[in-house]
Structure 1
Amino acid sequence: MAETYYKAINWNQVEDQIDKATWEKLTEQFWLDTRIPLSNDRDDWRSLSAQEHTLVSHVFGGLTLLDTLQSQDGADVLRDDARNPKEVAVFNNIQFMESVHAKSYSSIFSTLNTTEEINEIFDWVDHNPYLQKKAQIVNEIYQSHKPLEKKVASVFLETFLFYSGFYTPLYYLGNNKLTNVAEIIKLIIRDESVHGTYIGYKFQLGFKELSADQQAKFQDWMYDLLYQLYNNEEKYTTELYEEIGWAEDVNRFLRYNANKALMNLGQSPLFADGIAENVNPIVMNGISTETNNHDFFSQVGNGYLLGKVASMKNSDYDIGRDNN
């Protein structure tokens, strides 16, 4: 008999049940932007001011950049450090869905914006210093740091940095505007919820293998990184939201999600005021990852195809939080 040259993946022998559960959750949640009737939001879009048009467009431009980073580099570098072939398969799925997320924003732009406006959005993205800085910070970790550090950067991006952008469509959803655009955002949030908890779980496995001294040093690095990202994010938020008067509300939302990112990593929260009660209740209601059921015949919402699919909770990945 010839020696084995290449191993076939065997899903009947699963090294970690979380890999199988996450694969099943992500495939149940599969969706495409083309199934959401974005054109139904055009009347709402026309009712918004020019200032609001700029805000929404720039917010989605920033989210496009971050999802592009995740689809082109983030999942790739995490896959390189996978513990088993099922984990590789999960990251393949994550990478594809990050590409779907990035494309979804272009679907929104093509529905609501003119060609001239779309060109302005991407020019703004290319040259905004705070947006480019956070992409640079995260990508430099992806390209040159250790596996656990890459996982931290990924969780901070998906569970924290995205949310300065998510605030806007969730706010409009709570005011019954741009509901189909918000449907896409809720689908993206539902995916990111699974991505963040899964990668956080994989981080915790490796973190627990460190000595107490190594854990302490790593935590210093992790919290320093979060401070660095938060300080930049405050400036980004101020630029986006100060004129419309939402900056402090968005920053409270960011602190809440920064704490959530730390929880995904099995760490203690950083911001004392980063709790749900301090976040705009309209936005907190919108952050629920349940989605609407649509039946638009040729254009259908995710609920029609998939039914209700709950996001995985942090407790699904709980391997103990007794950090040294």
Structure 2
Amino acid sequence: MSESLLSKAKTLEPLYPNKSTGLFGGKSSGILNWNDIAYPHWYKMYKRLIGNYWQADEINMSSDIKQFSQLTREEQDAYLKIIGLLSTLDAPQTRTALLLSLYATDPSVQSIMAVIAQQEAVHNESYSYVLSSVVSLDQQNKTFQLGRQDSVLLERNKNLVEQYNAFVEEPSMENILKTMVYTSLLEGMFFYSGFAFFYHLARHNKMVGTSTMISYINRDELEHGRFIAELFRATLAENPEYNTSEFTDWVYTHFETSVELEMKWSTYALDEVEGIDLEEMEGYIKYRANKMLRMMGLSELYPEHVDNPMKWIRAYVDNFDGTKTDFFEQKSRQYTKTSDLNGFDDL
């Protein structure tokens, strides 16, 4: 559909009210009073996000340094491929969050997206940190090239890349909504087969430092996905002309395609790893897709996958239901602060 492009939100406009008249394309002074915002419960989301503060280099990697060479070749390959995947997704996510905030005319959204962008930057730093702990600089650089060179990873990311770049080139309401769809996929499904691999290693007492870091990233992504889904629903409610069967079909089509590509990627990365059940992983990917669709106000695509087939993962990270951190995580998942020597003093 043909439509006009949105302008970036004004930084300050005293003639406009403090409480925004619209999430995108509305009017706001730019002054943020958390006690006078259009969606009051988003203050709680903001507080949860900033409460998740952590730093990558405070996670103890000393045992991982010793263990990486003891992993099987297949486990090492999967480890590097998945770190390469995660870095490919988190680096552009920092910028995408900032770009969304530039067009948001609600200052509460701007602030929340700023926190999300900062956390994505920490996530990306953490991948450099863990790789520097376990492999040479040459291998680190090769791993970070995967997003540019690996054909399966390029195919998997193609649609996301196209949509994110379309938003940059044409910042329309439609592209903002579509970008939020892909951000929901990224935050709520794309990462998760990779997360599951690191939790699988931790179940067997392997690379526990890496899995601890992943659990903190995972916890952040759950909050990001929750907020983006709410922002999507609120934006659609404010702009009902986009809430059409055509757009809904677009969402379902891109979810289905993304699930197929995620399953292909998971098979490629994990097929030879001992103990990984790819059929179970397929169910988990479809379960995650259903979860995000429900949060976005849509129906499930995979009614046979409404329950989590990998319930053991709950021991490693909080879930969407708002359940408090469980006993296992409280006692075993708290990271140990180390010195700037990255744990090498333990060798």
- Determine helix, strand or coil for the equivalent of 1:68: helix
Q: How does 1:28-177 map onto structure 2 within 5 Å?
A: 28-72=51-95, 74-144=96-166, 146=174, 147-177=176-206
- Determine helix, strand or coil for the equivalent of 1:266: coil
Say if 2:230 and 2:296, in contact at 8 Å, map to a contact too: yes
**1:231 alignment partner in structure 2:** 260
Query: For 1:243 and 1:134, how far apart are their aligned partners in 2?
Result: 19
Query: For 2:147 and 2:30, how far apart are their aligned partners in 1?
Result: 43
Say if 2:59 and 2:336, in contact at 8 Å, map to a contact too: no
- The structure richer in helix per residue is 1
Q: How does 1:245-284 map onto structure 2 within 5 Å?
A: 246=276, 247-279=278-310, 281-284=311-314
Query: For 1:297 and 1:237, how far apart are their aligned partners in 2?
Result: 33
What TM-score do the two structures reach when normalised by structure 2?
0.78
Structure 1 residue runs of 4 or more that deviate by more than 4 Å after TM superposition: 209-213, 294-299
Q: Which runs of 5+ in 2 are unaligned?
A: 1-12, 16-28, 168-173, 320-324, 341-347
Give the paired residue count: 295
Q: Return the letter of the residue paired with 2:285.
A: L
Would you say 1:286 and 2:316 are equivalent positions?
yes
Query: For 1:278 and 1:99, how far apart are their aligned partners in 2?
Result: 31
Query: For 1:47 and 1:238, how far apart are their aligned partners in 2?
Result: 23
**2:3 alignment partner in structure 1:** none
- Determine helix, strand or coil for the equivalent of 1:293: coil
**1:183 alignment partner in structure 2:** 212
Render the CA deviation track for 1:115-173: whole Å, top value 9, x for unaligned.
Answer: 23223312333211232234331132233252221111110111011112111111112
Shift of 1:295: 4.8
Shift of 1:243: 2.3
Render the CA deviation track for 1:63-108: whole Å, top value 9, x for unaligned.
Answer: 0100012112x21332134241111011011011101101101101
Q: Which runs of 5+ in 1 are unaligned?
A: 300-324
Moved more, 120-129 or 3-12: 3-12
**1:205 alignment partner in structure 2:** 234
Render the CA deviation track for 1:216-251: whole Å, top value 9, x for unaligned.
Answer: 222101000111212222221121112226333322
Using a 3 Å threshold, how does the CA distance of structure 1 residues 213 and 132 change in structure 2: closer, same or farther? closer
Using a 3 Å threshold, how does the CA distance of structure 1 residues 31 and 258 change in structure 2: closer, same or farther? same
Using a 3 Å threshold, how does the CA distance of structure 1 residues 130 and 114 change in structure 2: closer, same or farther? same
- Determine helix, strand or coil for the equivalent of 2:206: coil
Computed over aligned residues only, the root mean square deviation of the Cα atoms, in angstroms, reads 2.4
Query: For 1:76 and 1:4, how far apart are their aligned partners in 2?
Result: 23
Query: For 1:155 and 1:18, how far apart are their aligned partners in 2?
Result: 20
Q: Return the letter of the residue paired with 1:66.
A: L
Percentage identity across aligned positions? 24
Query: For 1:249 and 1:35, how far apart are their aligned partners in 2?
Result: 33
